[in-house]
């Protein structure tokens, strides 16, 4: 079996206290560029992942995960491309040295560059981890204007230099709407190939159920994150199950506490990011990098039979969610394609939650499009 290395592009810049550079802000952006895997012929072609911002916490956590095979599997060689802005070039080279020193068996090469064309040419998977954060005193529209500018520029680079089948994962907040803007300015990339990260929220929900029931997290499955990657997201356990010695049991039956499931559980998952910032004075990095790997791995390699995951994807109107939003749904993945799980029952409590987060996304969309003009 041929095992050609996969080129992995990692792009991004850290916030260094500089206010205005080429894109109006210094960004931390991951772009994973992955060439297609020819399963029919049993070959493993070159995958390229780009991680933007070697200095960013998520990027620094993510790069070794890619090199170890966490994203693409333990048999898939990779060539890692790292893109950053010129002020971070020295630090970027330092990360390259560390990657070489780590002697990862799957890592077949490292390219560290500040040239976006060199980094993005031919990329097949892009993970965008950077954006402009909201600062004290900033209006919502000011933040949106900054991010529209960033994602318009990044979309242009992908549009010109990425492969036609490029898969995109947006992590930077507001992730759903940033993904929508990127879609607007990269029309040659299919809408099904542009997604945002809600897998971190999905994994947080799994963790909370695991701890509550004192079971292994791998025995819990089919939670759902609906909607926006924000405090309006709806963590739903109505269809989730736990593997037990006597078979799969519904989470709601085992927890046997609707007050907790409809209250504290939801708010804990919604506000987990803020709780981590309060505890460690820094945002989630390790868990976000791990979730990004989970997202891409399942998208490229497929979800286990009988299991779904949460992904922010382009709405087709399923579950009465307005079409044209990037909205988190339960999905299954097969042969590099995701598919929204259909036919799940939605009770009145859940309906209100789904509509609330859809309303927020519609408002964000309107605001973003006003910034475009």
Integer Cα distance of 247 and 234 in angstroms: 27
Q: Which of 81, 202, 229, 295 is catalytic?
A: 229
Instruction: Tell me the β-bridge partners of 48.
Output: 79
Q: From residue 51, give the alpha-carbon distance in Å to each of 34, 71, 123, 204, 282.
A: 12, 13, 12, 24, 20
Integer Cα distance of 139 and 142 in angstroms: 5
Integer Cα distance of 145 and 179 in angstroms: 14
Indicate if 202 belongs to the active site: no
Q: Angle CA(366)–CA(369)–CA(373) in degrees, nearest 5?
A: 135
Return the residue matching tokens 């560059």: 113
Sequence-separated (6 or more) residues with CB below 8 Å from residue 150: 23, 24, 25, 27, 130, 131, 132, 178
Is the bond leading into 243 cis (omega within 30 degrees of zero)? Answer: no
Integer Cα distance of 130 and 182 in angstroms: 13
Q: How many residues does the chain have?
A: 373
Whether 139 and 170 have beta carbons less than 8 Å apart is answered as: no
Which of helix, strand or coil describes residue 66?
Answer: helix
Integer Cα distance of 135 and 25 in angstroms: 13
Q: Which residues are catalytic?
A: 229
């Amino acid at each position: 079996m041929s095992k050609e290395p996969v080129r992995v592009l990692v792009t991004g810049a850290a916030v260094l206290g500089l206010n205005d550079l080429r894109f109006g802000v210094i960004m931390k952006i991951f772009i994973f560029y992955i060439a297609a895997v020819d399963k029919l012929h049993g070959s493993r072609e070159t995958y390229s992942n780009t991680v933007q911002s070697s200095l960013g916490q998520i990027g620094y956590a993510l790069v070794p995960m890619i090199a170890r095979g966490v994203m693409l599997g333990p048999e898939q060689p990779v060539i890692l491309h790292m893109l950053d802005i010129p002020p971070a070039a020295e630090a970027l080279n330092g990360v390259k040295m560390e990657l070489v020193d780590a002697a990862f068996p799957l890592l077949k090469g490292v390219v560290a560059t500040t040239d976006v064309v060199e980094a993005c040419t031919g990329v097949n998977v892009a993970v965008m981890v950077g954006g402009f954060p909201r600062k004290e005193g900033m209006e919502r529209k000011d933040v949106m204007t900054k991010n529209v500018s960033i994602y318009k520029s990044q979309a242009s680079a992908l549009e010109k230099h990425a492969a036609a089948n490029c898969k995109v994962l947006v992590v930077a907040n507001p992730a759903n709407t940033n993904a929508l803007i990127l879609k607007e300015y990269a029309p040659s990339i299919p809408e099904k190939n542009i997604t945002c990260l809600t897998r971190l929220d999905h994994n947080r929900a799994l963790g909370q159920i695991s701890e509550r029931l004192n079971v292994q997290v791998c025995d819990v499955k089919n939670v759902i994150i609906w909607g926006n990657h924000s405090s309006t997201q709806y963590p739903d356990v109505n269809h989730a199950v736990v593997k037990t010695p006597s078979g799969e049991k519904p989470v709601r039956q085992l927890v046997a506490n609707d007050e907790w499931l409809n209250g504290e559980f939801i708010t804990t998952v919604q506000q987990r990011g803020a709780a981590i910032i309060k505890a460690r004075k820094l945002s989630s990095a390790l868990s976000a990098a791990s979730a990004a790997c989970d997202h891409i791995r399942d998208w490229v390699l497929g979800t286990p039979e009988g299991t779904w995951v949460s992904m922010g994807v382009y709405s087709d109107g399923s579950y009465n969610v307005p079409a044209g939003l990037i909205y988190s749904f339960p999905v299954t993945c097969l042969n590099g394609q995701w598919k929204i799980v259909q036919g799940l029952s939605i009770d009145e409590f859940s309906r209100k939650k789904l509509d609330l987060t859809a309303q927020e996304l519609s408002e964000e969309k309107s605001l973003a499009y006003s910034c475009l003009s």
